[in-house]
Amino acid sequence: MTGSPLMFAGDRPLTTGAADVLRQMWLNGATQDGDLASKSGRVELTVHGLAAGADGWNWLTEAGHQAAITLDLGPAKDARDRARDEQERDLHTRLANIDAMRHSATMALKAVVKRDGGEVRLPQEGAFTEAGGLEVSAEGEEIVFRYVAPAPADAAATEA
């Protein structure tokens, strides 16, 4: 963010460090001291009333928000927000796919375990362990899946 058009008293331009911190706090909101792009930039913004801070946190003042608008940082924030929204949608889709695959694998494993005598043994390394009609236990270096038939309904419970 070099060549910033924002000028301070005495026609002194905003330094690169201050411009970087202004942009960072505009995009990210309140920022901890250790995460700031430039400590000297933060000091400069604070001296000129564009930023404030307390208890290890720093934020833009109203004047700082106006400076960010003057520097036309709004489109950068909009683009960042759109990218985050897209990443979040992608993550939700991936998680839904993983859940569907896990469910399908569980159902397939249940069918195989039930068909093949009620037990399947797999190496522990990378084994899939999902309960739900399966009893899963570790025996030595193997994970053992045993089909657990549904318990018959208690006659006394159904009469009540």
Q: pLDDT (tens digit, 9 = 90+) per residue, 119-139?
A: 666 555 444 444 445 666 667
pLDDT of residue 126: 45
Q: What are the chain's domains? A: 7-72 (1.10.10.10), 77-159 (no CATH)
pLDDT of residue 145: 67
pLDDT of residue 104: 73
Condensed to tens digits (0 to 9), the pLDDT of residues 45-69 reads 999 999 999 999 999 999 999 988 8
* H-state helical runs in 1-160: 16-28, 39-47, 62-70, 74-115, 155-159
Within 13 Å and on the Cβ side, how many CA atoms surround 42?
A: 19
pLDDT of residue 117: 67
How far apart CA 13 and CA 93 sit, in angstroms, is 46
Condensed to tens digits (0 to 9), the pLDDT of residues 97-110 reads 777 777 777 777 77
How far apart CA 23 and CA 8 sit, in angstroms, is 17
